[in-house]
Amino acid sequence: MPRIDVSQVPERKGSGYPSPFAATAGARIRRALGDAGGLTDFGVNLTRLPPGAWSSQRHWHTDEDEFVYVLSGELVLVTDTGEQLLAANDCAAFPKNRVDGHHLINRGTQMAVYLEIGSRSERDCCHYPDIDLYWDSAVDVYAHKDGSPYPNKV
């Protein structure tokens, strides 16, 4: 089963962020290609980001490497050091435990399409430097930075 029929991989729209943080990534559309192929060591998502949408809240991981490769459109990569334009055939890497919050924003007028590739650590924490949000894989719940959990989604 090496060939994956991308059209048969279910689309997942939005994010799992609690309110009010979910809205900016609410239009993001992902297809989990790695899951469809049975991969367990790393994940691969084919992601579409419409104009005005964010890939995520700005974040960094303690135990997961991330890599993005732009297939079409243009995206603005926002990091602690500023902004960079990424176009088709550009890529960016985010090593684990590097304290440099990052995300992508589609400020263009066309749909942007990119691959997200990331390791799947059994023990990862995700920090969100701009907002009161924290995620720990051990409990798999979004929490405030003081540790108190956000309410579960309805």
Q: Which residue has the tokens 């684990």?
A: 96
Percent of the chain with pLDDT over 70: 97
78: left (phi over 0), alpha (psi -120 to 50) or beta: beta
Residue 77 located in a structural domain: yes
The domain that contains 130 carries what CATH number?
A: 2.60.120.10
The tally of domains found in the chain comes to 1
Contact 124, 61 (CB under 8 A): yes
Residue 81 located in a structural domain: yes
Count other C-beta atoms under 10 Å from residue 64's C-beta.
21
Residue 93's pLDDT is: 98
Taking residues 100-110, report their average pLDDT: 97
Residue 6 located in a structural domain: no
Residue 75 located in a structural domain: yes
The pLDDT of residue 13 is above 90: yes
Tokens of 140: 């798999």
Percent of the chain with pLDDT over 90: 92
Q: Which domain holds residue 104?
A: 15-139
Residue 153's pLDDT is: 57
Residue 154's pLDDT is: 41
Closest of 150, 147, 68 to residue 102, by C-alpha: 68
pLDDT per residue over 86-103, tens digit each? 999 999 999 999 999 999
CA–centroid distance for 15 within its chain? 9
Peptide bond into 20 cis (omega under 30): yes
Q: Which residues contact 48 (CB under 8 A, 6 or more apart)?
A: 28, 29, 30, 111, 112, 113
Residue 2's pLDDT is: 87
- Of the pLDDT bands very low, low, confident and very high (cuts 50, 70, 90), residue 124 is very high
Taking residues 107-116, report their average pLDDT: 98
Residue 131 located in a structural domain: yes
Residue 153 located in a structural domain: no
Residue 19 located in a structural domain: yes
Residue 40 located in a structural domain: yes
Distance from C-alpha of 64 to C-alpha of 81, rounded to nearest angstrom: 20
- Model confidence, pTM: 0.94
